[in-house]
Amino acid sequence: MIKKILIANRGEIAVRIVRACSELGITSVAIYTDADRHALHVKKADKAYNIGSDPVQGYLNAHNIVNLAVASGCDALHPGYGFLSENPMLAEICARRGIKFIGPNAEVIRMMGDKIEARKAMIKAGIPVIPGSEHNLENVEEARTLANSIGYPVMLKATNGGGGRGIRRCDSDAELLKNFDRVVSEAGKAFGKPEVFLEKCVVNPKHIEVQVMADTHGNTIHLFERDCSIQRRNQKLIEIAPSPQLTEAQRQYIGKLAVRAARAVGYTNAGTVEFLLDSDNQFYFMEMNTRLQVEHTITETITGVDIVQEQIRIAAGYPLQYKQEDVHYRGFAMEFRINAEDPKNGFLPSFGRITRYYAPGGPGVRTDAAMYSGYVIPPYYDSMCAKLTVWNLSWESVMERGRRALNDMVVYGVKTTIPYYLEILKNPDFRSGRFNTSFVDTHPELINYAVRQPPEMIAAAISAAIAAHNGL
């Protein structure tokens, strides 16, 4: 069994991996930059090492990170999500240095990270894909010819993109001409490769993804689906498992599709196959994320499977503990991404000191957080500072538990998305369980209603701020 893991990440996911290591009796090693010196993952890990003053590049230097893993006696590395998690170079360096990479091999990461290659692999496996280009576009004229062939609207996408970046919808030749160079530039800056492709835009689809697990012994299973349709500018806000919008037949169908996709590329470890569901109830493959997802918590909640521990076991060479027939789901789970953002000010990031923080509790409530009272959220990273996951037996009851838990959650010192989520939970369209990726755009009024509640809370926040200022 693996005895010591270096966690090549930060924030709440690093804390999550530390907890999995603790339960398995594995020593956890954290890394941090100067900006993260007081971060929670540094406090929680068994050991922690400074990786430099640059707040971002420290987490992106694959050679330095693997060198540290070797020097500190680690036998494995967990990349978490974001940063280097889908960079095949990290997996390659780990393999050369004798460090087990907790994820798929470099070849699979590279193939599925290239959207063109991923499309080709899925077509070969008989997985339905969205009509689009089968190679990187050479110029805007080639893009315009293809767009007119398949029909507008179309999506221009970075070939090696992810996380909702490097994507533009185009409804006409004029918009395509305007956006082409912009997407090429974004692709180069964000992903190091100024390559783009084009595909038909599925208008107002449902965004459904399936969690898969595969070991090195030829076993591949799915852990059911998650509904990620509540998103803003291609960034997920609320995720639900299982989807309240699928029939049981659809659920079984998409699960089998995901398993087939994983097997077709020789996938191992945890991964997510993402699909779009159009208005005609046709599923289309969108992409495969070759890492742990932010929203893995809701799958764990409905199935009882500890995905992170299972990742570690797979990397150690053990077979899956579950067969497909062993995996069942119960009830509904919902995850809210608690972002340090101001919904009423265009979701502008709200970095600063957390003057007071209380995590909600009670039955069916889980909080994964990177913050604590007194913690200063640095301005260099993603604005997500916590994830609130709630569970209950029915769709109606999980919404009510979500409302209660959000009201119980106290974060003072910065603006958060909590008030906005409370408004979403009140909305009849959301409560009906029938929504798609256009929900946020078609309900702008919810932002105006999102006001943090009772006056006594404001008074408490002022008192906390004064106390923090006086060093009490």
User: What is the chain's pLDDT, residue by residue, as a tens digit (472 residues)?
Assistant: 899 999 999 999 999 999 999 999 999 999 999 999 999 999 999 999 999 999 999 999 999 999 999 999 999 999 999 999 999 999 999 999 999 999 999 999 999 999 999 999 999 999 999 999 989 999 999 999 999 999 999 999 998 876 677 899 999 999 999 999 999 998 888 888 899 999 999 999 999 999 999 999 999 999 999 999 999 998 999 999 999 999 999 999 999 999 999 999 999 999 999 999 999 999 999 999 999 999 999 999 999 999 999 999 999 999 999 999 999 999 999 999 999 999 999 999 999 999 999 999 999 999 999 999 999 999 999 999 999 999 999 999 999 999 999 999 999 999 999 999 999 999 999 999 999 999 999 999 999 887 754 444 554 555 555 555 655 4
Residue ranges of domains in the chain, CATH in brackets? 4-102 (3.40.50.20), 131-200 (3.30.1490.20), 206-456 (3.30.470.20)
| pLDDT value, residue 465 | 55
| pLDDT value, residue 191 | 84
| pLDDT value, residue 192 | 82
| pLDDT value, residue 469 | 61
Helix (H) or strand (E) holding 210: strand 206-214
How far is CA 221 from each of CA 88, 148, 214, 305, 348, rounded to the nearest angstrom?
A: 24, 40, 6, 12, 40
| pLDDT value, residue 448 | 85
> Quick one: DSSP state of residue 40?
H
471: number of Cβ within 10 Å: 5
Helix (H) or strand (E) holding 467: helix 455-469
d(CA 404, CA 207): 26
Q: Which of 16, 251, 291, 366 is catalytic?
A: 291
| pLDDT value, residue 445 | 94
| pLDDT value, residue 205 | 97
Q: What are phi and psi of 33, to 5 degrees?
A: -95, 175
- pTM confidence score: 0.92
Look up tokens 């009772």; give the residue: 454
d(CA 279, CA 454): 41
Q: Determine the 3-state secondary structure of 76 from DSSP.
A: strand
| pLDDT value, residue 1 | 86
> Quick one: DSSP state of residue 25?
T
Q: Determine the 3-state secondary structure of 227 from DSSP.
A: strand
291 annotated active-site: yes
Beta-carbon-side half-sphere exposure of residue 112 (alpha carbons within 13 Å): 31
